[in-house]
Amino acid sequence: YAVSVQVILDEGHSWRPLLGARDILPRREGVFKSRRTAPAPIPVDEEHAKTLGASNLLLLRQKRIHVVLPLSGGKTTLFCFLSWASPPEQEVLHFLSLFAHVASKALEMNALQVENAERLEAISEKVFAVRGLHEASLYLLALQDREQFLTAATDVLGEMTQTSSLTLVTWQPESSGYVLHSLRNAQGGVRRDGRLLVQNVAPVAAETIPFCTEGLSFPEAPAAERLFAAASPFWKERRVARTLFFKGKEGLLGMAGLAPSVTGEHYGDPDTVEILASTIAVGLERLFLLERTLAQKEAAERWMHLSRLLRELANIIHRIRDADLFLESLLRILRNVLRT
């Protein structure tokens, strides 16, 4: 049996003693400067001076170490320093060689198990995020009212990013400009705002605006500078650390300012958040198109109704010969027209 055993862990930039005395911290020479070492015992003698490094050979001899046993597997590298009452025989070195191979394989398998567990956890988180994104997208795209859609989008975005507060700005065709739509706090409460930030503008070109950024200044998008300047005070007040942009075919349809997350970490899976932002942009475009279509339908129905009344008036005029009866019928039809 070895008289003493000391074990250190290679952390790349330093050594961490794990077992035994803490007085052997070798220099980065020879086998001690490599992150991957062969699992074989190295006798501390002149024959292995180059393998160990001259200064390390001197240190190990001073500490009366007979054998250095490297163990390596995955990202882990250990060095065991072994000493006996007298130098070990060849049979002991042969046993240490077998032990080093078995121990290194065990380290490798453990590293693979840890990596596999981390990947499975990442996949599980991804699956959970994708499932949540799918359900949220179906819910949002089923809404027919823009106000309901924006309130729901604010809530969904806040939940998925875990932001401590969210500030939503959207382009509104009825205002011909960008509006500070709503504010969401960490408890999930959504407060409608409605202040007009920029008026008399169409959706600004969004080709050069990234999906997500930390700042609100883009020299490549000068058309958006007016909007960013108007939103900047609210961004500072709400401690916005990240901005998501809703980019559609018509241009920039809105943006969401995210304060630091309640977890103190990132805002969830970046791909999932980007897809959600794209879904919100698509939903807004769909609702704008639906609103225009409904407006055109209502206008067409009004014209059809007026045309019908005019035809009735023409028929009445054609039949009436009495002037008083004619005026009475004309006034009745006009009253019906004005009510429509």
Query: What does pTM read for this prediction?
Result: 0.59
Q: Which of 21-35, 244-258, 281-295 has the highest mean pLDDT?
A: 244-258
Mean pLDDT of 248-274: 85
Closest CA to 240 of 259, 268, 214, 264: 259
Of residues 245 and 225, which shows the higher confidence score?
245
Of residues 84 and 298, which shows the higher confidence score?
84
Mean pLDDT of 30-52: 88
What's at 47, amino acid-wise? E
In which band, very low, low, confident or very high, does the pLDDT at 326 lie, cut at 50, 70 and 90? low
In which band, very low, low, confident or very high, does the pLDDT at 70 lie, cut at 50, 70 and 90? very high
Average pLDDT value over all residues in the chain = 84
Backbone angles phi, psi at 19, to 5 degrees: -150, 140
Inter-axis angle of helices 270-319 and 90-142, to 10 degrees? 10
The token pair at 234 is 């609210």
The token pair at 23 is 């007085």
In which band, very low, low, confident or very high, does the pLDDT at 323 lie, cut at 50, 70 and 90? low
pLDDT at 220 over 70: no
In which band, very low, low, confident or very high, does the pLDDT at 4 lie, cut at 50, 70 and 90? confident
In which band, very low, low, confident or very high, does the pLDDT at 2 lie, cut at 50, 70 and 90? low
pLDDT of residue 20: 86
pLDDT at 34 over 70: yes
Please tell me the distance from the alpha carbon of residue 249 to that of residue 254, in angstroms, as a whole number: 12
> Are 198 and 178 contacting, i.e. CB atoms less than 8 angstroms apart?
yes
Q: Which of 62-76, 125-139, 292-306 has the highest mean pLDDT?
A: 62-76
